[in-house]
Structure 1
Amino acid sequence: MKFSLFYILFLTLVNLGVAQTNKQKADKLFALGNYSKAIEHYKSLDNVEKVYDKIAKAYVAIGNYSEGISFYQKAIDINPDNQLLQYDYAKLLKQTKQYSKANTIIKNLIDSDSLNPNFHYELGLVLEKQNDTMAIEAFRNTYNLDKSHQKAIFKIAKKHIIKRNFEEAHQLIGKGLKFYSKNVELISLKAQAYYFQEYYTNAVVWFKKLIELGESSEFIHEKLSLSYAQNSDYEDAIFHRKEALKYNPYNASAIFVIGSYYERLKNYEKAEVYYRNALDIQDVSLANEYQKLGIVLNRQKKYDEAIKAFETALKEDPTDIMTEFYLIRTKDEYYADVDAKISLYEKFKEKHKDNPFTAIANRRLQELKKEKFLEKN
């Protein structure tokens, strides 16, 4: 009898040791990221119900969200008062776009612990997805409970910027940066706020902070370029627009803008190159682009090429009086025949009897007629 009791006790201890060893193996596999193997080991345990949460997390880790949801539900059925399980489950429901279910669970969590800021923040995220205007109130509740909550500060400050409440946005962002000075999301918001306020010098400072922190994107460099250009710092504007082009090398509008910056710097040769490149890429009406090309060719005294560019622009938009006048002025420079020049201006006046260029045309006609008179005498 004593031997039987001893034997049963021995087997119990052995089985317990084996179970603990299998659980430890599964935990180790989970910790090392070998989730599929971990799931196999967890499911082989006799008391598998105790590790439903681990199985759920492992399924989520490998992207099998349906199984993850299933095992979270099983775990919650066994542990209905476990807030951490419900919190993780709600976040998974949000991730899988089951917003109504997530909403219900998170509101229940808030009812049980209204002082947890992250419960309010998660509710805000779900309400955002549901296009519910109360989302911002959830983020404000988060901030009121935790003044250092970076994500809530971002959400509230962004809303201020959208509503053009710039001063409120700057104050809130400043408070957030005191807790974490390298928060690139808040720094980006501050830069954008200054940009929208048209405080371009300040915008440059904050966009550059993003670059100093290792952030680089088409958006950052484009906004930096535009900010520099507003302050007439065209060389810096060109540099950053070229950096932006690395992300989208066939952006014809950006290439065209670079050409306009070179034109402002009176570097007409480079302006010509970029205008031509922009024209080669675009497949829309190019009247404006050809007009600009004609202007920079004119500046370089490439009159024959400028004439072709203006003529092409007029084919793209025959109603553009400005381009038509540029064409006449270029032919005026290029042609030697005074009578031909006079004819150009007279035909232009007859065609456009009331236009902004009439005074210039009349003045030039007088000059040409005087020139012709002097030649005869």
Structure 2
Amino acid sequence: MSRVLLLCLLICFKAEAQTSALSVADSLYAHGKYSQAITVYKSDTLNPATNLKIAKSYEAIGNYDKALKYYQKGLTKHNLLSRFNYVKLLFKTKQYTLAKSQLEALIALDSVNPNYHYQLGVILEATNDTTAINKYQTAYKLDSTHQKAIYKIARELVKTRQFDKANKVIDEGLMEYANNISLISLKAQNLYYKEYYEQAQQWFHKLLDLGEQSEFIYEKLSLCYAKNFHYKEAITYRQKTLKYNPQNANAMFVIGSYYEQLQDYENAKKYIEQALLIKDQPLDFEYQKLAMVYNRLKKYDKAIDAYKKAIKEDPDRVDIHFFMLLSKERYYADIDAKIKLYEDFIKRFPNEKNFVRIANRRLQELKEEKFMSETD
């Protein structure tokens, strides 16, 4: 056998073996055995298509860093599907700038793909770019049945109180997909904001019929019934909200007021007393804890606000006054203002020896700092 023939046979054998191995890997991937598939795929990493399969496998098991690495190895200019999948993974990993530039390159190659424009809108929205709505509108123009684009546009119309326009867009979407939960919810809210309460409650009920349950749905249903003086139904649905938040004092008070409308004064008394009992619980510790967290985040203005609420709950707690003093010192830039804070505290609480001792020491340090700065 000639050397040339032998070499040809070896090449054919190797290619056949490689093809067989990749078929095994494809089967492993199809059956969800992604890690095993990766091991087999890695026998042929010189092939861009194989690298893309490795990327998809890593993405399937949640190893996004490695998935991105293999996407970069396997991407080619004209493989638009894989490039789009790469963009979506960049977005998922919050690499918005790179995702945006990659997607704009795709749009340059295929400007009539509605999903490209929609995804660009999603990226822009994530970065608080108000032009996102323009991309959703472009996607909608290219595909008037695009449910996600329709929802985004309708949501913006509801938010800007353009209720009639919103209703038209929502209805177009529901004609194509009648059980779109997001659009049904938006439809119900839109009718509620327009004060069409009977129609709104029908759409909130449709959400329940489709298996959707939430505190928001039950609360809005209750309000719809109450607006039309159907207080028994209003009570029924408001009570359902309590399973999500049993200590909701506002919900209890509202239920009590509905019972009052029905002249059921015993139940009215029961729920209103429960509401007042919850509301009467002091929250000084909770507000103080919140203030401490804000201090850790160096958001001293918010910490001061939280301490003020804690003081309102319990004005006699000197420790809260003192800790608010420390937050104000961090927040204020002017050294004279800081000095006055400590002087005022010492005058207000002269009998609080421990706190006054600390305040006096800090006051002295501030005065020395002021003196040194003035002599420089």
TM-score (norm 1): 0.71
5+ unaligned residues in a row in structure 1: which ranges?
287-315, 317-377
Give distance in 1, aligned partners of 2:28 and 2:260.
63
2:202 maps to 1:205: yes
One-letter amino acid of the structure 1 residue matched with residue 188 of structure 2 = A
2:100 maps to 1:100: no
| 1:200, distance to aligned residue in structure 2 (A) | 1.1
Give distance in 1, aligned partners of 2:247 and 2:88.
40
Aligned twin of 1:41: 40
For residues 12-68 of structure 1, the C-alpha deviation after alignment (integer angstroms, 9 at most, x for no partner) is 444333322221221122112222222112113364543111111111122111111
2:183 maps to 1:192: no
Alignment of 1:70-109 (within 5 A): 70-76=69-75, 79-109=76-106
One-letter amino acid of the structure 2 residue matched with residue 187 of structure 1 = I
| 1:262, distance to aligned residue in structure 2 (A) | 1.4
Give distance in 2, aligned partners of 1:155 and 1:51.
36
Larger Rg: 1
CA contact under 8 A between 2:25 and 2:37: conserved in structure 1? yes
Aligned twin of 2:18: 19
One-letter amino acid of the structure 1 residue matched with residue 27 of structure 2 = K
CA contact under 8 A between 1:22 and 1:45: conserved in structure 2? no
Give distance in 2, aligned partners of 1:107 and 1:183.
29
For residues 145-185 of structure 1, the C-alpha deviation after alignment (integer angstroms, 9 at most, x for no partner) is 11111111111111111111101001111111111111111
Aligned twin of 2:261: 264
Alignment of 1:344-355 (within 5 A): none
Match of 2:225 among 216, 223, 228: 228
One-letter amino acid of the structure 1 residue matched with residue 26 of structure 2 = D
CA contact under 8 A between 1:203 and 1:227: conserved in structure 2? yes
Alignment of 1:15-164 (within 5 A): 15-45=14-44, 47-76=46-75, 79-164=76-161
Give distance in 2, aligned partners of 1:46 and 1:132.
39
**Distance change >3 Å, CA 283–CA 38, structure 1 → 2:** farther
Give distance in 1, aligned partners of 2:158 and 2:26.
47
Matched residues, number:
284
2:273 maps to 1:276: yes
Give distance in 1, aligned partners of 2:35 and 2:99.
26
Indicate the percent of aligned positions where both proteins have the same amino acid: 48
| 1:80, distance to aligned residue in structure 2 (A) | 2.4
CA contact under 8 A between 1:42 and 1:48: conserved in structure 2? no
**Distance change >3 Å, CA 49–CA 109, structure 1 → 2:** closer
| 1:11, distance to aligned residue in structure 2 (A) | 3.9
Of the structure 1 ranges 44-53 and 223-232, higher mean CA displacement relative to structure 2 is found in 44-53
Give distance in 2, aligned partners of 1:64 and 1:280.
50
2:179 maps to 1:179: no
3-state SS of paired residue (1:21): helix
Match of 1:240 among 213, 230, 237: 237
Give distance in 2, aligned partners of 1:136 and 1:91.
19
Give distance in 2, aligned partners of 1:7 and 1:136.
64
For residues 208-256 of structure 1, the C-alpha deviation after alignment (integer angstroms, 9 at most, x for no partner) is 1111111111111111111111111111111111222222222222122
**Distance change >3 Å, CA 224–CA 285, structure 1 → 2:** farther
Aligned twin of 1:169: 166
One-letter amino acid of the structure 1 residue matched with residue 129 of structure 2 = D
TM-score (norm 2): 0.71
| 1:275, distance to aligned residue in structure 2 (A) | 2.2
Give distance in 1, aligned partners of 2:94 and 2:28.
30
Give distance in 2, aligned partners of 1:210 and 1:203.
11
Give distance in 1, aligned partners of 2:281 and 2:168.
45
Aligned twin of 2:343: none
Give distance in 2, aligned partners of 1:64 and 1:9.
40
3-state SS of paired residue (1:44): helix
For residues 332-375 of structure 1, the C-alpha deviation after alignment (integer angstroms, 9 at most, x for no partner) is xxxxxxxxxxxxxxxxxxxxxxxxxxxxxxxxxxxxxxxxxxxx
Give distance in 2, aligned partners of 1:19 and 1:56.
19
**Distance change >3 Å, CA 49–CA 115, structure 1 → 2:** closer
Give distance in 2, aligned partners of 1:272 and 1:17.
83
Give distance in 2, aligned partners of 1:44 and 1:250.
60
For residues 257-297 of structure 1, the C-alpha deviation after alignment (integer angstroms, 9 at most, x for no partner) is 212211211112222222233234334589xxxxxxxxxxx
Give distance in 2, aligned partners of 1:282 and 1:35.
54
5+ unaligned residues in a row in structure 2: which ranges?
284-312, 314-376
**Distance change >3 Å, CA 217–CA 46, structure 1 → 2:** closer
Give distance in 2, aligned partners of 1:39 and 1:222.
50
3-state SS of paired residue (2:44): coil
For residues 97-119 of structure 1, the C-alpha deviation after alignment (integer angstroms, 9 at most, x for no partner) is 11111111111111111111111
For residues 104-142 of structure 1, the C-alpha deviation after alignment (integer angstroms, 9 at most, x for no partner) is 111111111111111110111111112112111111111
Of the structure 1 ranges 158-167 and 55-64, higher mean CA displacement relative to structure 2 is found in 55-64
